[in-house]
A and B are shown apart, each in its own frame.
Chain A
Amino acid sequence: MTVAVWLPFFASAGLALLAGPVAARISPRTGVWLFALTGLACAVATTWGLLLLTLALVDDIPGTYLEESLPIADPPSIAAAGALLIVLVRLVEVVVRRRNLLAVVRPALAGSDGELVVISDRRPVAFAAPGRPGRIVVTDSMLAALTAAQRRVVLAHERAHLAGRHSTALTVARLAAAANPLLIPVERAVGYLCEREADEQAARAVGDRVLVAEALTAAALLTRSSARAARAVLPVPAFHRLGVVDRVAALTGNHRRGVPPAWLGAVGAATVAAAATAGYATGALVGLVVQVGMR
């Protein structure tokens, strides 16, 4: 049981290593959900593993036979209990933050009867606010800086986020990374692939990949100069490998295509290993309890 409990952690680390290279090559539509769901599976497996390790503390309760039956020492179990507590706090934090933000965004959008909501703000911003129906929010400074064709790209891009339920995929990935920080690269991969998929949908809508790349570049450079003007001293994330530059490269054809089957096999193997070992560990514990109960 001990090995089975730890295996999902190794599987998560494996998945994290594969996330970047696979995300750079995989078809974005497939990749978004592949990583959201494999990340979720690994997070569930590791969290379940922590729970099982914590439950092993039960053997300390006097009068139970579990004490002799479970070969797990106490220190790992105590550590697992602490980790489990941290995981729960982190998960609640993600849920509460999402709820708080939507609580601000939704009423702000409720009064508007249309797909597009424009707000007057000097920050060039465009985003898709999930909901029923979802809304596209763009600032006037963003619209004013783009050409008509580029504006159509932005609208098509945000529309694709809403239609593809990317907010759900991102939240799943974010929860997985909160439960298991080893999966943070997986969350980043999902974020990148959502953008890539929206770029591809936009390219299909306007019928011109280079136009999408130009719109992206224009918006990106705008965001940059505005940040400079506002003297926003934001810490630049160190982990920066998959970004706008890669998206532009993918659109302009300067892109590696196709994932080696072995890599996909490894992603599948990591997920299956995580899920199977979590299942095995559960079975082992249940079996033990039943065995003890029958004595």
Chain B
Amino acid sequence: MAGGRTGRRGAGQLESEVLAALWAAPTPLTPAQVQAAVDAGLAYNTVHTILIRLQDKGQVLRVVHEGRSAYSPATDAAGVAAERMRAALDAGTDRAAILARFVTELDPEDEAALRAALRKGRRS
């Protein structure tokens, strides 16, 4: 199913997914590992092309990890942006109105309700 949907994802979306996978990983990833981490249904060549494009943009670095060619996210490039963004996150409590957040803070009761709703969802 995941493989079948791949064709409908644009190049930009796949770039985001590959970049996200590299950031999530504790060590540099080889193209084969990226392929496994993002979506096993993705063609190896596609993964390779995306990695090269991200490298051209300066978003990922090619490194040698355990004797093999691998990729890691370019953390330096994000440094300046991160510094400013952290300031933005600290700036105020009404940021949520401008920057729609994925989730907001939870109550303890919410936590229990969430787990219950999820159990129900998995059963059905």
B66 interface residue (CB < 8 Å to A): no
Cβ contact within 8 Å between A240 and B91: no
Interchain CA distance A151-B77 in the complex, whole Å: 21
In the bound complex, CA of A161 to CA of B75 (Å): 26
Asked if B85 contacts A223 (CB within 8 A), the reply is: no
Per DSSP, chain A at the interface is helix
A169 shortest CB reach to chain B, Å: 10
- Name the interface residues of B28-67: CB closer than 8 Å to any CB of A: 37-39, 54, 57-59
Query: Which one, A58-66, A78-86, A126-134, A264-272, is touching chain B?
Result: A126-134
B86 within 8 A of A: yes
**With A120-B78, A151-B21, A155-B16 as contacts: A128 and B99 at CB distance below 8 Å:** yes
Q: Which of A12-20, A34-42, A100-108, A273-281 contacts B (4 or more CB under 8 A)?
A: A100-108
* Cβ-defined partner of B98 (8 Å) among A120, A170, A251: A170
Output the least CB separation between B27 and chain A (Å): 12
Q: Which of A2-10, A190-198, A287-295 contacts B (4 or more CB under 8 A)?
A: A190-198
Q: Complex formed: what's the CA distance from A166 to B98 in Å?
A: 9
Q: Which of the residues A125, A221, A252 comes within 8 Å of B117, measured between beta carbons?
A: A252
Known A-B contacts: A109-B85, A123-B89. Give 6 more (CB < 8 A). A114-B16, A126-B101, A158-B102, A170-B97, A209-B121, A252-B117
The 9 closest A-B pairs by CB, nearest first: A252-B121, A108-B84, A119-B82, A116-B16, A126-B102, A127-B99, A143-B24, A104-B88, A220-B103
Q: Which residues of B contact A (CB under 8 A)?
A: 1-2, 5, 12-13, 15-17, 19-21, 23-24, 26, 37-39, 54, 57-59, 73, 75, 77-82, 84-89, 91-107, 110-111, 113-115, 117-118, 120-122, 124
